[in-house]
Structure 1
Amino acid sequence: MPQINQQLKEQGYFKQFPPPGVEVVSWYVMMGIGQVVTLRVPADRLREVNRAIESTAWGGYRTEFYPTYNYKAAAQKLREEMNK
């Protein structure tokens, strides 16, 4: 772990991730999977977040990036409309 953290430090990970103004909603360590970080990111900043991960985390971590959005309110509205 110290070697990984040193590599991340040298690559600027701790300074660049998450970018300013991006909210970390949760950060879990999932045994057998790795770390799962949930961020709240404006859509127009998605590329910036991905770039911060690509340029600073690779090598220390293997990364995968899965943009999602919260569909709860839209699903509730649709359900209400369909049940009229």
Structure 2
Amino acid sequence: MKYTLLLVLFFLQHLAYSQSNKIEVASEKGDDKLMLTIFLKHDQSMNLNEIEQIRTDQGFYQNFPPEGVSVINWYVVMGIGQMVVLELPASKLSAVNLAIERTAWKAFKTEIYPTYNLYPIIENKLKNKSKVVY
């Protein structure tokens, strides 16, 4: 009897532990798209015309963003340079990297960060629910 009780307790503990380790995915889309934020940091030893000439010569405007990649936003960040937010299938990540390496280097120093939109998750928690849409 004592061993049966221990066996039952063991199984209950195991069952409770396995149920508590469920992984919830924040994305409800179920696709392989991701967002990427790219900082194109100005080299302040060059003026804007010199930077523009390098971008043009390297084919930046013809090759960025690569096919299948969407621009969500493109901002000027004063004192830093430009910030580009892209949406892309995960399979296009290497194409974005190559496009940056081949056409933006020399004109910019780059920083690239995977990002996601937190607003749909946090929206209902905010006291002020207004969102600016341009």
Shorter-chain TM range is: 0.7 to 0.9
Structure 1: unaligned runs, 5 residues or longer: 76-84
Give the superposition deviation at 1:72: 6.0
Partner of 1:31: 78
Give the superposition deviation at 1:16: 0.6
CA distance in 2, matches of 1:39, 1:52: 13
Give the superposition deviation at 1:70: 3.9
Amino acid at match of 2:108: Y
Give the superposition deviation at 1:31: 1.3
TM-score under structure 2 normalisation? 0.50
TM-score under structure 1 normalisation? 0.77
Structure 2: unaligned runs, 5 residues or longer: 1-47, 123-134
- Higher relative strand content: 2
| Kept in 1: contact 2:68–2:92 (CA 8 A) | no
SS in 2 for 1:4: helix
**CA offsets 1:59-84 (integer angstroms, 9 cap, x no match):** 11111111223466678xxxxxxxxx
TM-aligned CA distance change 1:71 to 1:42, over 3 Å? farther
- Higher relative helix content: 1
Bigger relative CO (Cα 8 Å, ≥ 6 apart): 2
Percent of aligned pairs with the same residue? Answer: 51
RMSD over aligned CA atoms reads: 1.9
